[in-house]
Amino acid sequence: MAHWLVKSEPKKWSWDDQVKAGKAGTYWDGVRNHSAKLNMMAMEERRPGLFYHSNEGKAVVGIVKVIKEYYPDHTDASGRFGMVDFQVVRPFKTPVTLDMIKGESALADMVLVNNSRLSVQPVKDDEWETVCRMGGL
DNA sequence: GCCAACGTTGGC
DNA sequence: GCCAACGTTGGC
């Protein structure tokens, strides 16, 4: 699996916050879900991922990349979970909304459509290309 | 180790 | 604000 999609509520962590963080990037902490954890563990440095705004916006707004691979989440007292660091790559010209994704038959199998609650998801190559094209990149 | 109860997420 | 989906917790 070549690409990823990460989700955040704009109230907690928005694209703008990610842009402000700049090259330093930010750690993607707070994940407390085993499926998401496994996906993070599979991430390789420099791999790009889609950045999705849940709840408000409900759209893929840009591309980030992994700048630090999976390591322990120091905010997790139990020590069971970890996190990765992301850095902004570039914003979409046009945000790709959930409606647009649902309306695109090539994206009918996206995890976002079928398991919207998973916060870190794999994205297939063809799905990746379709979403990027829809985003104007 | 099973399963009911509960909490959280996220679309609508 | 509601509710469905799903993950986690805790009693047995």
- So what's the pLDDT on residue A39? 92
Q: What is the pLDDT of residues A112-126, one digit of tens each?
A: 999 989 999 999 999
Q: Which of A84, A77, A67 is nearest to A119 (CA)?
A: A84
pLDDT at residue A103 tops 80: yes
State the Cα angle at A131 between A51 and A17, rounded to 5°.
20
- pLDDT > 90: percent of chain A: 75
**Among all strands, which nt has the closest C1' to A117 (CA)?**
B9
Q: What is the pLDDT of residues A8-58, one digit of tens each?
A: 999 889 999 999 999 999 888 888 888 899 999 999 999 999 999 999 999
| Protein CA at A117 to nucleotide C1' at B11, angstroms | 10
Q: What is the value of pTM for the model shown? A: 0.93
Instruction: Tell if A34 CB is < 7 Å from nucleic strand C.
Output: yes
A1 band by pLDDT with thresholds 50, 70 and 90: low
List, as own/partner pairs, every contact residues A38-45 make where C-beta atoms lie below 8 angstroms and the sequence separation is at least 24, other chains included.
Answer: A39/A4, A39/A120, A39/A121, A39/A122, A40/A70, A40/A82, A40/A83, A40/A84, A40/A120, A41/A70, A41/A82, A42/A1, A43/A4, A43/A69, A43/A70, A43/A84, A44/A69, A45/A69
pLDDT the model gives residue A125: 94
Closest nucleotide to A36's CA, by C1' atom?
C7
Task: Dig out the tokens for A59 from the structure.
Answer: 């759209």
